[in-house]
Amino acid sequence: METISRRRFLPLPQSESAPPGLGLRTGLSAFLSRSADLVLGWQARASQRAALASLDDRMLKDVGLSRAAASEEARRPLWRP
């Protein structure tokens, strides 16, 4: 069996103008921002699909969708675009 060697990870050099830990805070902030955007996108998609499911046949005809196509789209999970 092959032995896996461990690398040593050295801290990135800090510029003198940046306070210590700024990279971690920036990374965490970006992660939280992306996560919030993802959840908000899911909420918007769920709302749009619920609205689509509530349209009557006349409204569906106006937007060029059949009842079957609208029902299929409304049943899709919110995380699928």
Q: What is the pLDDT of residue 15?
A: 55
Please give the model's pTM, rounded to 2 decimal places. Answer: 0.62
Q: Where are the domains of the chain?
A: 35-81
Q: For residue 64, count other CB atoms closer than 10 A to its CB.
A: 7
Per-residue model confidence as pLDDT tens for the chain (81 residues): 444 545 555 555 555 555 555 666 788 888 999 999 999 999 999 999 999 999 999 999 999 999 999 999 999 998 888
Report which residue type is found at 61: K
**Can you give the pLDDT at residue 25?**
75
DSSP string, the chain: -PPPPPPPPPPPPPPTTSPTTHHHHHHHHHHHHHHHHHHHHHHHHHHHHHHHHT--HHHHHHHT--HHHHHHHHHS-TT--
